[in-house]
Chains A and B, each alone.
Chain A
Amino acid sequence: MKNIGLTAARYSTVLILAGLVFLFSIASQRFLSVSNLLNVVEQSALLGIVAIGVTFTIIAGGIDLSVGSLVAFSGALAAGFMARNGLPLAPALILAILAGAGLGLVNGFFIVKGGLQPFVATLAMMAIARGLTLIYTQGRPISGMGESFTFIGSTVGPVPIPAVIFVVVFVLSHIILQRTPFGAYIYAVGGNEETARLAGIKVQWIKLSSYVLSGTTAAIGGIVLAARLWSAQPQAASGLELQAIAATVLGGASLMGGAGTTVGTFAGALIMGVLANGLNLVGVSSYIQQVITGTIFILAVMLDMWTKRKQRPG
């Protein structure tokens, strides 16, 4: 059987990733070392984890703008539960993840039951969750979580744990999307909602679930970020939602819904990571980096539209 995931994915994403790796390995001797490549994956981990959740909402025909705020909120909760309330690691993490999933559920509820446009509902949640974070942290970073927590942001041997979490989230989400009925229905709902409904699919439930998943991955991202920084910042991850959408679109998703893969998003997040890392190594200033990143984004999406037009009959 042809792998449906790969067939639908954007070949160009993988090509661009390979091209960038090739360029940077010529430009800088340090780029292609094992430790640097692990470093790239680690740097891409937060964005990648969050973008994978966003991918579910986008394939299902929606969008999630609240993930940046959910990262900050869940990270602050996890840190606070340990540093302030003295909770052990496991319950603190579980509660923080439940909180992220819960706010995702609220997003989904207003979209599915309240009939709000996903853009509007999650835009509101972006403000609400950021506000809740500021209230909870009183505007100050939370630190002093202890080593069991910061271990999540550290390395085992040469392997960074955030990178491991990224890969695990990616593999799980890939299996869900490509192997389970739920995954198939995510595509169906985003591809043609009416057809999905007529086929007996619980459209509302599928949509709702996509936001819960997105909230969950945002919470995992928040924990990873706080662990890496040894503190939870109230303004953490602001603007991350747009990067996550960019990585998803780079990975072949259509904002019209119905198309996209987590393989693509994985590669999309790595492209952004490779760019940042490689340009740093080559010594490009961070100001110019943004211009380059934006330009490559446009070129990648145009390249994809062009190849798709060639494939599509009529």
Chain B
Amino acid sequence: MSYALRMEGIHKRFPGVHALNDVSFEVESGAVHALVGENGAGKSTLMKLLSGSLAKDEGRIEIDGEEVELKSPADSQARGVSMIYQELTVIPYRSVAANILLGREPRKAAGLFIDYHELNRRAGELLERIDVHVDPTEIVGYLSIAQQQMVEVAKALSLNAKTIIMDEPTSSLTDRETDTLFRLIRELKRQGITIIYISHRLEEVFDIADAVTVLRDGKAVHTAAISEIDSDTIVRMMVGRELGEFFPKHNAEISRTILEVNGLSGGRFEDVSFSLRAGEILGVSGLVGAGRSEMARALMGIDRASGGSVTLREKPIEIGSVRAMMRRGFAYVPEDRKEQGLFLRMSVRDNLVISVMERLFKAGLVRIQKLVDIARTYEKRLRIQTPSLSQLVRNLSGGNQQKVILARCLALNPEVLILDEPTRGIDVGAKAEIHNIMGELAERGVGIIMISSELPEIVGVADRVLVMREGRVAGELSRAEATQDAIMQKAAAGGGER
């Protein structure tokens, strides 16, 4: 048995995170090897080490039986390893052929000119070799995402790739496009190319892979031939960590229904229905790309919904602008703290009061003292740790930054609070504090929708769990039913109704 690559005892640390902890990973030559795991399990980090865009801290990597040091993507490419990223890296306004052979164009007239005729011929040959029917002279930007992916595969082959890593290649493909991609993968395999297939869609893994490795919390938990493992076992391995964190449960009184969403549809989600009651924390679980954030953004009026209806306190409402939704009592803490949540170069105070500032105008002027009062109140209430209110928010820790955003929402006195990954990337202590604040809010009768990719958090905090999968509601679980296994089964394995 020969290995296309072996990784042994790999460690990778980032500030505060041991992202890969003694990972060993072997892939047989010519196999399709799936790499699965929850969000944040370390799949992408491991593959970045292999594709040369990150450097390992410890461990050894062998390619074709030879130990290698991969310092750059060029190193990896020279060793025959190419990676196709989820975010495609094509050059949009150039032809398919120019993209495939970028930097390696055939020349003519003593190297002065590109031989476009030859360029197109060679690219055409590569595309034909993998049975992809795309005109080499077509502009890449006008192709579908699926076709662009094929172009990237052809580019990898033109670099003599022997191993191709695909990171969640089907995340933005339709079912038919996925079938086409799988045909391509089988064709590559027939030609002796090794494929590492990162996914968390287990159906696909069973459809295409020969072997599977499960990563969890930065460790390789198990590797098996696909014939020797079943979906349930994989799910259990993906989630089976000890519950190290303690989730205090507040016993808020869950009373009347305040929000009803019916058949909400939009960009990457369809026909989502659920209700929310006062004092309730509704967890929204699902894999990255399941359409959770998109659904929340549409509900908040950030992106336009294409259909569905919303009832607030038994009155039907139209989803308006974000501003209009805030006035109706909605508030939203976005997923990406730094990009969407904060004005990093502004002070804690200004970040905190910006949404209520307009409500405090008097004779055309902002009442500064009132703003400072509000900021102080929330600084105390949420125990935001900052040297002063005029400190720049970017100097705060992640947990305190998150509290600032939360405080901004609370200052609006919301009835419905939507939190998208409220504790991502913050330390355990701050997590617990944020969960506490959520509990207090629930006790005051606020309805909370919490999107989270961390199963323990969903199981520990939510009163009810909505599981989304590929843009649709895959199931709803009561607090009693909502175990990590049950959620993962619905989110990944397709156990839910479709």
Contact = CB atoms under 8 A, between A and B. Distances in A.
A4 B95 contact: yes
* Chain A: interface size category: 20 to 34
B452 interface: no
Contact of B142 (A181, A194, A198, A312): A312
Interface stretch (A130-138, A183-191, A227-235, A236-244): A183-191
Interface in B234-249: none
A1 B92 contact: no
B117 interface: yes
A195 B92 CA distance: 11
A194 B112 CA distance: 25
B89 A179 contact: no
A9 B107 CA distance: 24
A8 B91 CA distance: 13
Contacts, number: 81
Given A194-B89, A314-B144, A1 B112 contact: no
A7 B139 contact: yes
Given A180-B112, A192-B89, A195-B89, A313 B143 contact: yes
A311 interface: yes
Given A180-B112, A180-B113, A258-B92, A195 B144 contact: no
A184 B105 contact: yes
A181 B114 contact: yes
Contact of A4 (B73, B89, B98, B145): B98
Residue picked from B92, B107, B112, B116, most chain A C-beta under 10 Å:
B92
Interface in B78-103: 89-95, 98, 102-103
Interface in B374-408: none
Contacts of A1: 116-117, 120, 137
B74 interface: yes
B141 interface: yes
A259 B114 CA distance: 19
B103 A200 contact: yes
Interface string B104-118: 110100001110110
Contact of B137 (A4, A187, A258, A314): A4
A195 B83 CA distance: 12
A113 interface: no
A195 B139 CA distance: 16
A201 interface: yes
B139 A179 contact: no
A184 B90 contact: no
B117 A188 contact: no
Interface string A168-204: 0000000000011100110110011011101111000
B113 A179 contact: yes
Residue picked from B94, B116, B143, most chain A C-beta under 10 Å:
B94
A8 B89 contact: no
A75 B356 CA distance: 57
Contacts of B94: 4, 184, 187-188, 191
Contacts of A180: 112-114
A181 B141 CA distance: 20
Contacts of B145: 314
Contacts of A185: 103
A184 B98 contact: yes
A254 B93 CA distance: 10
A9 to B, nearest CB: 10
A187 B116 CA distance: 15
Given A1-B137, A312-B141, A187 B93 contact: yes
Interface residues of B, number: 28
A188 B103 CA distance: 9
Given A179-B114, A180-B113, A195 B142 contact: no
A196 B102 contact: yes
Nearest to B115: A179
A311 B92 CA distance: 13
Residue picked from A185, A196, A200, A313, most chain B C-beta under 10 Å:
A313
Interface in B53-81: 73-74
Contacts of B107: 181
A208 B173 CA distance: 39
Residue picked from A2, A191, A312, most chain B C-beta under 10 Å:
A191
Interface string B125-151: 000000000000101011111000000
A181 B98 CA distance: 10
A195 B91 contact: yes
A199 B144 CA distance: 23
Contact of B91 (A2, A192, A200): A192
A187 B144 contact: no
Contacts of B137: 1-2, 4, 7
B102 A188 contact: yes
A274 B396 CA distance: 58
A314 to B, nearest CB: 6
B252 to A, nearest CB: 43
A8 B139 CA distance: 8
Contacts of A314: 144-145
Contacts of A201: 102-103
Residue picked from A2, A184, A259, most chain B C-beta under 10 Å:
A184
Given A1-B137, A312-B142, A191 B95 contact: no
A304 to B, nearest CB: 13
A1 B92 CA distance: 19
Contacts of B92: 191-192, 258-259
Given A188-B103, A313-B142, 7 more contacts: A1-B117, A180-B114, A194-B89, A201-B102, A258-B91, A312-B142, A313-B144
10 residue pairs, one from A and one from B, having the closest CB atoms: A199-B103, A191-B91, A199-B102, A259-B93, A2-B137, A200-B103, A195-B89, A179-B113, A192-B91, A313-B144
Interface of A: 1-2, 4, 7-8, 179-181, 184-185, 187-188, 191-192, 194-196, 198-201, 254, 258-259, 311-314
26 contacts: A4-B137, A7-B139, A8-B139, A179-B116, A180-B112, A180-B113, A180-B114, A184-B105, A185-B103, A187-B91, A187-B94, A188-B91, A191-B92, A191-B94, A192-B92, A194-B89, A195-B102, A196-B91, A198-B73, A198-B89, A199-B102, A201-B102, A258-B92, A311-B142, A313-B143, A314-B144
